[in-house]
Amino acid sequence: MVFSSAIFLFCFLPAVFVIDRLLPKQAWKNVWLALASIVFYAFGQLAYVPLFLGSVVLNYGMGLLLRGDGSHRKAAVAAAVVLNLGILCVFKYTDFLLSNLNALLGSSIPLPGIELPIGISFFTFQGLSYVIDVYRDPESGTDNFFKVLLYIAFFPQLIAGPIVKYHDIAAQIDCRSTTPGATAAGFQRFITGLGKKLLLSNAAGLIADTVFDTLLPAGGLDWRLAWLGGICYTLQIYFDFSGYSDMAIGMGRMFGFTIRENFNYPYTASSMRDFWRRWHISLSTWFREYLYIPLGGNRKGKRRTECNRMIVFLCTGIWHGANWTFVVWGVVHGLLTVLEDVGVIPVDRLEKSRAGRAVCRVYTLLAVMLLFVVFRADSLSDAGALIAAMFTGPQTCEGTYLLHELLTPAACLMLAVSVIAAAGLVPAVKGRIEGLSARGQTVCLGITRVLSLGLLVLAILNLARGGFNPFIYFQF
């Protein structure tokens, strides 16, 4: 069950919301939301509900051990880390490791073909953060199982984040308010995310899928189509994932929770370091707090700092999936940030002038897009073929025909809107209007509400056309 499906929009979400409002006590609401979240997960993968609940029980139990005193605490947190990462590795990386072992040794070990549990990377990292935080501060944990269950299982962010730390929402689990204003703002944010997914991401995804899955394997890809595919996937993954995050944050507000932002217009970044301060913020924060800083951060000299940075980006790539494309994607991101940090790529100096800032933004956007080609491709050879086609590919009559087929008026309109939205122009204009006067704020509020209703109508009409709308990050 995905947020952009009819059963979720018209059955599950309204039922959960209404019953939550009717329950008189906070404890009952917590139990209800926890149970509803388990049902939500069961709709996606019923067979893996025991695994998911086992992960919750594991981390809750380890949290109880860590809340006590004694020498067992280090052993308990080490066991929790090993068990959590062990479960993640078995289900996510077994086939990848065995296939590479077969290729290296010339062996023929059969691959088990384990199906990846939905959202395992997210709920594993969320459980790990709880255990590690309780190890660092025993008072930050809880003895109440349903609080831990709700924290990890809360359905808006269960499958694809944002990754939330327990101490950020512990007070809200105990006591939260649901005012009409907050509910309306949450609903509006949810609509924004729904529109991003159904209208913008899916439109770009149709073109990207055609290029990557149909035209690229056929060979002889027109350079214009190669660039179009790369640009469209760059737009697709942003609006797909940021749309999911908007819906998660919006639903959180509807139920009284404040979930931190996960994106801050990453395609306006002027360096790769700046990009990672804006892209998937919750994952970047997780790796910084639970890997980069424990490794020593930037406290042990420049060489050690850059080594720590590379380790973090290698792990970031591996976290995304069991394929060498993700490894290369993470390593190159790390390498570029290191080169920026040591001054080989002089973004700090260039950003001091207007022309230099423009150069930095072009460099960053080009690097991000080319690396997303690697991220999207099925193999490194496919990624190399598409990038080669972008710079050395032919210009063919067939390519011209396919461009006209793909770039319909509706597709061009959606791509134009996507570029404007990704560039952060809408909030900039809104801020200018709101800054003029109190009346400007009222006008903006009215326009926003009208646009939200229109966006909801368009999203529902799009949904009525049918088709499956999976989110890209469900596979991670």
- Return the active site residues: 320
DSSP-derived secondary structure letter, 117 = P
Cis peptide before 294 (omega within 30 of 0): no
The distance of Cα 458 from the centroid of its chain, to the nearest Å, equals 24
Ramachandran angles phi, psi of 178, nearest 5°: -130, 85
Q: Could you tell me the two tokens for 14?
A: 């309204």
H-helix or E-strand spanning residue 240: helix 223-254
DSSP-derived secondary structure letter, 260 = P
* 204 and 236 Cβ atoms separated by less than 8 Å: yes
Rg (CA), the chain: 23
**Burial profile 389-420: b = 16 or more Cβ within 10 angstroms, e = fewer:** bbeebeeeeebeebeeebeeeebeebbebbee
Q: Write the CB contacts of 447 (distance below 8 Å, at least 6 apart in sequence).
A: none
What secondary structure does DSSP assign to 206-221, as a single string?
Answer: HHHHIIIIIIHHHS--
* 304 and 296 Cβ atoms separated by less than 8 Å: yes
Q: Could you tell me the two tokens for 424?
A: 């952060």
Amino acid at 244: Y
Gap between the terminal Cα atoms of the chain:
16
Q: Angle at the Cα of 242 (from 199 to 273), degrees rounded to 5?
A: 135
